[in-house]
Amino acid sequence: MLWGQTVEVRAKSVSVSEASTSERRLIECLMQFYIYEFMWPSSSIHIECDDQNRCPPFADLNRYWRIEGFHPLLIRVEGRLAGFALINTHSRHGEKIELNMAEFFIAREHRGRGVATEAVRLILAQYPGRWEIAVAEHNVAAKMFWSRTLAATPNVGRLVRLEGDGKRWRGPIWSFQSASSDVRCAEDELTEQPLRLSHAPSARQVSLF
């Protein structure tokens, strides 16, 4: 591979699965890189490392295996660990939601190859419902990524960008509805019907949201 050249990964090589309790350590290890990168863009964030140069542990990570509706996810590329995501039910905007992307991280070696985009597509298809994704104001790269990715994800509907109130959250908040892959397939089949049946609804009239 030439220097500076990026290679897109095959969609089938990316997988997302719920982490078992025995795999918690994998998320804890990746969390060290995640915390460091999260605080790096902002000079206003300061985190003290311990005497072994480790960032403090993530607050109450155990709840992702205890509380219903919370999901600790591992992202892999061809079986190799590439990142993680943590889903809970907390709204940064005070709305009633079913799913919130609390944390999302892809290791540097897997960036720029479509891994993050494919992981998001898989997550939103596996966990349909009313979603919210909040991004810190200082995280410019993340704001660009989520704006572009959510707009291009086929099973995302009713997408709205909100702004945090400056107290509970400072930065953009995306609110949307995601449909499962099965529902999306059914919608695609319906949109093909006008080619054969004059009484079938047009593609613009079909809305599962």
d(CA 118, CA 125): 11
d(CA 131, CA 146): 13
d(CA 80, CA 146): 24
> What pLDDT, on the 0 to 100 scale, is given for residue 183?
54
Six-digit token string for 103: 């944390």
Q: In whole angstroms, how large is the CA radius of gyration of the chain?
A: 19
d(CA 12, CA 176): 25
pLDDT higher than threshold 50 for residue 44: no
SS3 call for 33: helix
d(CA 43, CA 17): 34
> Which domains does the chain possess?
12-178 (3.40.630.30)
pLDDT in tens, 143-176: 999 999 999 999 999 999 999 999 889 999 999 9
> What pLDDT, on the 0 to 100 scale, is given for residue 199?
33
CB 175 within 8 A of CB 93: yes
Which range, 23-32, 183-192, 200-209, is most confident? 23-32
Six-digit token string for 145: 């990524």
Specify the pTM: 0.78
> What pLDDT, on the 0 to 100 scale, is given for residue 33?
87
Can you tell me the mean pLDDT for 199-203? Answer: 31
Question: How would you write 127-138 as a 3-class SS string?
Answer: CCEEEEEECCCC
Under 8 Å CB-to-CB from 78, ≥6 apart: which residues? 13
Of the candidate ranges 31-45, 148-162, 188-202, the one whose mean pLDDT is the lowest: 188-202
d(CA 8, CA 112): 8
pLDDT in tens, 98-133: 999 999 999 999 999 999 999 999 999 999 999 999
The model's confidence at residue 12, banded by pLDDT at 50, 70 and 90, is confident
pLDDT higher than threshold 90 for residue 201: no
